Structure 1
C-alpha cells in the first residue's frame, strides 16, 4: 500500500469509530420526533400534541393562560410563541355547541380505546368524546394541512372531523351550516353571548344571547334571505372571502379581504364583542416565525358596530354601560360612578357604585356620565318612620335590577328624614297618554307588542330577581316609554319604602353632568 494512503485509511477508521459511538449514544437518548398521527393504543398525555404534515398546525393539549395546571384539547397555528397565544387557537373541544369546555389536567389522556372512539379521560372520568356514527370504529387520528382533525376508520373513511363541529372559528375550506359561537373573553374559552348562524329558513343572522330567546328577537344583523327553501351554507375560502350560498347556488359575500392571494394564513372568527372578523398572517416574512401578530382584513358588519341593536333594542353592551368602537374591537365602558357587574366579562354591563348623597340643593341630580342627560327624581314623603338599614338595603337591591322593560334606578340620596330616588328619564310619557288621547292612539299591533314587553318586565320581577318582587300597582301611569318607544315599568319594589304614605311621582327632570 502506498505510504500516502496510510493517513487516509487511518482517518477513515477514526471517523467510523466516532460514527459508531454517536449511534450508540443516540440509542440511549430520547429522540424528539414530531408525530403526525395518533393510532389505536397510543395514549398522548399533557403536554403532547400531533402536527399536520406541513407543520403549520398542531392538535393536542394547550395550557390555560389563567391556570397553567388546566389544559384545553385544541388545534392551533404552530408558529410564534410557545405555548401558543389564545388568538392562534382555532378549535377546542366542547361538550356541545353551547356547552361547557372540559378542562384536562396533568393526568388526562387522549386515546382511541378498543371501542374505536376518540376519548379524553381524566382518571376514571370521561371529559369528552368525539361524536361518531354508531357501530363505527376509528383507528387513526390525523391533522390535515388545512387544520382539520379527522378520525379515520376502515378504508380511511372520515368518522368525525373538527370542521364539522366548529367553535368560534372558520378556516379556509371550512363551511358552516349551524352556529359559530363567540368566546366569553379573548383569552378565555367559555361560550360567549354572540353567534353567527345559517338559520334553517335560509337567513344568515348575527345573534345576541340566543339561549334566552328566539332568533327573530335576538338578531342584531341579518341578510334577510329567509324563505321557504332554506339550505343556506356559509363558507370561508382560501383567499379570505366569507360568503354564503343560497339554495339556488347564488353566492354572496359577507367579508371581502383586504389582503389577497394564497401566501397568508387565514381564519374568520366570531369575536367576543359580537363582530365577525377575518384575520391574516404572512406565511413567509413579516417578522419571521416569531411574529404572532394577526391583521384584521375584514369585518361583519363592515362598520357601525356600536349602533347595532336587536328588535328588542338590546345593544352590544350590557345594561348601565355604553359602547366605544376602536380599530380592533368594541369596548363596553362604565359611566363615572359605575362599576362592572363582572370585571372579567365587561360586556355584562355596569351597576351604580351606590353612595348615599345629601339631599341638599347642591347635590340633587349630580349623576356623572360622559354625556349630559336627563334624569327623573322621585321624592318620598318626609318621614322619620324609615329604618335606616332597611332603606339602604331596599334601594341597593332595587339598584341591582337591570332589564330592558324596567325603569332603572341610578342613584339615591338621604338626609335626616328626607329621601329621594333618582331614575333614568323616560321621555315618551306614560301609557295613559297613548290610551286616552285620540291623537296618540296606536294600532293594535303596537298595543300587542307593548303588552308583551310589559309582561316580560313583570316576569323578570317575579322570576329573574334573587328575591321575587310583586309590583302591586300596575296601571297605565306606571308604564313609561323611553327614547325608542320601548315600554318600561316603574315604581316596582318600593312599596316597603312608601308604607301608607304617598310619594310625589316626579319632582325633577333636568339636564346635568
Structure 2
C-alpha cells in the first residue's frame, strides 16, 4: 500500500514528456522533407524551440560526428551520438531528410548510411526541448526517437528499459563506445561492468542490489532530477533526488555513464543572463579504484589524495607507459618451471601490503606465511598469493581488478625471476629475514672453502669431458653445447635400425626410438641432404638449439655427428601433431582448448623471435610442425633448421622448406626481405585453421568463396556472419571476433601491416584493442 501514492507522482513527471513527444511543435521548428545539414554550410544543426538542444554535426578532432548536444556550454555536452562506432566524416558530408522519408548520412566519398532505422517513411522531424530528436510518420505519430536508442546518457523524461544498456564513451572528446556498460537487467537489477567482462558478480563493480525484484523494471529520470527504479513488484527504488535550490532560469538533468566508468547525475543551470553552470548532484561511486578495469591486467589502482593512478605489480612492466590503462606484462619468462628440480631457488618473491583482487583464487589453504610463499614458488600455476590471517589464497596470471585498499590488512606476494630487481619487501617477516641473513653470513666461510674445492674438481671433470668430445667434434663447436652427444650406433640401436618412421620434416625423416638406459622414448631426425649443405646448416642449427629452451618448444635432448652422418634427438610427443587434432580427429578440441593451443604456439614463436639469445626465423610454421605433449600443451618443432636473424643479413641463405599454403607472399618475391613477419603470416594461417578446424585451402566446399580460408574469414567478418566459421559450436563470440581479427591482421600481404608476436599475444588475450583489419588481399590498382 505504501507504493500506491507514488504512482500518480510518476505520471505527473513522465506523461507530459511523453505527450510532448507525440505532437508536432510550432511550424518554425518542424523539419520538413528535403531538409539538409552539412559542416560546409551555414546550417550545421537543427535547434530545439528553446535553443538549449541541437541535433546535427559537431567537430571531433579534425573531423565531424552526428549527435545531440546542449547549447550555450563552454564545451559541448554531447548527450547522444549517431552510429557512434563509425569513423567520423569529413566536412564534405551531408545529412538529409530525404523526400522519400529517410534520414541519411552521405559522406564525401559517395557512400550513405541510415541515421535512424525506420520501417515506415517519415513525414517530418523535430528536435524537442527534452533533448529528444524524433521522426514523425502519418497522423503525426512518432516512428523513431533518440530516447529509444541511448548511448551513454539519459535525460529528464527518459527511461532505460529491461535488457537495454548505456555504454560509456572513450573520452570527453571521443564518443565512440568505451570501456564500461550499465545494464538494466531483466531481473530488475541495474549493474555496471567492464564492457568486455559481463560474466557475473566478480566482474560487476556497482549495482542497485535489486536483483529478483521484478521483470518489468525501468530506470527513470524525471525533468526535476528524480533518478529511480520503478517496477510493479519492486515499487520505487530511489537512487537520488535533486535538491538544487536555484529557481531562476532553466535546469536540465542528465544521468551519464562517464568515460571513467562511474554513473553520475549532472545538473545544468541556464540563467536568464545567458550564463550557465554545471554541477555533479550524485555519483554512484566516489573512488575510481572501485571501478573494475580502471587499471588493466596485471596492474593495480591506488589513490593518493584525490587522484587515482595505476601501477604495475613487481615483476611486471607497462605495455605502454603513456597509456597505463592497457595494463602490464610479465618482464620475465617462466619457461623452465616444472623442469627445474628446485623452483624455490629459481624464483624470488616480493610483497605489497593492503592488496585485494576481485577474481577468485584457484586454491585456498590455511597455513603459515612462510609455507604459503613456498607453496607458490613450487607451483607453476601460481603467479601471486594473498595472505590474510592464516589463509593462503593462490592466483594465476593475469591478475584482474587489483586495488590498494588501506582497510585490508592482507599482504600480496608476487613470484619473480631471481635476476629481476623489483621494488618491494623480500619474502618472510622481519624475523625470518634476520635469520636468513645470519645463516648466510655464517655460511660464507664454509662456502669459500667449498667453492675452491668444487672449482678444482669441476675443472678436472670438464677437462676430461672436452677431451672425449673433441674426438668427434672440434673444440670450438663443442664449447657451445649443453646437449648429450650420441654415437650413431646408439641411435641406430635405439630406433631398431630406423624402423618406425614418424614423419618427414625439413631436411630428413624422423623415427621413433627408445633409449636403452631408462627406457625413455625419443624422436630421432636423420639428415638426408647433401654433405656440404648439411654440415653448414647443422652447425647453425645445433648452435641455436643449445641456446633455446621454452615450454612451447620441443626439447632437443642430443645430437650425433660422425662424418657425413648427422642426427638430432628430440623428446617424443605422445599425442601427435596439431594437424591430427584439428583435421583428422573424430572429436575436435572444444573452443577454449583451441584458443589455449593458439596461445601456446604464439608464446613459443615470441620466444624464438624476441626472447632467446639469438633471434630465429622458423620459416615453416604449420600444424604438422606443432606437436602435442602428454598434457596437450602445444610445442613448436622443426625450428632447428630455421635461419638465424643475424644483424645486417638481409635474407636467409637457405631456400624455404615450408608448405606453400603457409608461406608469406614475400617468399615468392626476391626483392622483398624475409623477416620475422614471414612467421607472423604463417601463424595467421594456422590461427584461422585452429578457429575453423579446416585447412587453409579446401576444395570440397559448398561455395567458391570458401576455398581460401583467409578470404572466407574476412568476408564473414565484414558482413557480421562469423558464426558460419564455427557452426554448431558453443563459442564465446567476442573472443571469436577478436581471434579472427588477429588472424586477418597476421595474413596481410604487406609485411609492415602484420603485428609483432608480442602484440599478437596481447590482442589474443584481450589486453589491447584490435582495429578493424583490411582485406588480407592487396587491392589491384
Task: Name the TM-score class by shorter chain.
Answer: 0.5 to 0.7
Asked if the contact 1:270–1:276 (Cα under 8 Å) also holds between the matched residues in 2, the reply is yes
Gap change, CA 1:325 and 1:197, over 3 Å in 2: farther
User: By percentage of residues, which structure has more helix?
Assistant: 2
- Determine which of 439, 442, 467 is the counterpart of 2:602: 467
- Determine which of 139, 150, 174 is the counterpart of 2:158: 174
Q: Distance in 2 between matches of 1:326 and 1:289?
A: 38
Does residue 321 of the first structure (1) align with residue 299 of the second (2)? yes
Correspondence for 1:452: none
Gap change, CA 1:368 and 1:78, over 3 Å in 2: farther
Asked if the contact 1:258–1:298 (Cα under 8 Å) also holds between the matched residues in 2, the reply is no
Gap change, CA 1:261 and 1:294, over 3 Å in 2: closer
Does residue 115 of the first structure (1) align with residue 108 of the second (2)? no
Does residue 197 of the first structure (1) align with residue 194 of the second (2)? no
Asked if the contact 1:72–1:103 (Cα under 8 Å) also holds between the matched residues in 2, the reply is yes
Pairwise CA RMSD: 4.7
Alignment deviations for residues 457-505 of structure 1 (CA, whole Å, 9 cap, x no partner): 9776435678167996869xxxxxxxxxxxxxxxx99999xxxxxxxxx
Correspondence for 2:265: 278
Shift of 1:58: 1.1
Any idea what SS the aligned residue of 2:289 has?
A: helix
Shift of 1:353: 6.8
- Determine which of 67, 70, 73 is the counterpart of 1:74: 67
Alignment deviations for residues 62-92 of structure 1 (CA, whole Å, 9 cap, x no partner): 111xx31x111011110133xx44xx11110
Any idea what SS the aligned residue of 1:155 has?
A: helix
Does residue 237 of the first structure (1) align with residue 222 of the second (2)? yes
Q: Distance in 1 between matches of 2:242 and 2:167?
A: 22
Does residue 93 of the first structure (1) align with residue 228 of the second (2)? no
Shift of 1:300: 1.5
- Determine which of 275, 278, 289 is the counterpart of 1:306: 289
Shift of 1:413: 6.0
Shift of 1:180: 0.6
Q: Distance in 2 between matches of 1:154 and 1:300?
A: 42
Q: Distance in 2 between matches of 1:458 and 1:404?
A: 22
- Determine which of 192, 200, 214 is the counterpart of 1:206: 192
Matches within 5 A, 1:346-495: 346-351=324-329, 402=398, 412=417, 461-463=596-598, 467=602
Q: Distance in 2 between matches of 1:187 and 1:200?
A: 32
Q: Distance in 2 between matches of 1:105 and 1:174?
A: 32
Q: For this pair of structures, how many residues does the alignment match?
A: 363
Uncovered stretches (5+) of structure 2, i.e. residues with no partner: 1-27, 334-346, 357-368, 379-396, 402-411, 428-589, 605-626, 638-781
Structure with the larger RCO, 1 or 2 (CA within 8 Å, 6+ apart):
1
Alignment deviations for residues 157-210 of structure 1 (CA, whole Å, 9 cap, x no partner): 11111111100011111111110111122332221221112112222211223x
- Determine which of 69, 80, 89 is the counterpart of 1:104: 89
Any idea what SS the aligned residue of 1:73 has?
A: strand
Gap change, CA 1:336 and 1:229, over 3 Å in 2: closer
TM-score computed with the length of structure 1 as normaliser: 0.58
Asked if the contact 1:146–1:171 (Cα under 8 Å) also holds between the matched residues in 2, the reply is yes
Does residue 58 of the first structure (1) align with residue 54 of the second (2)? yes
- Determine which of 256, 260, 266 is the counterpart of 1:269: 256
TM-score computed with the length of structure 2 as normaliser: 0.40
Correspondence for 1:19: none
Correspondence for 2:38: 45
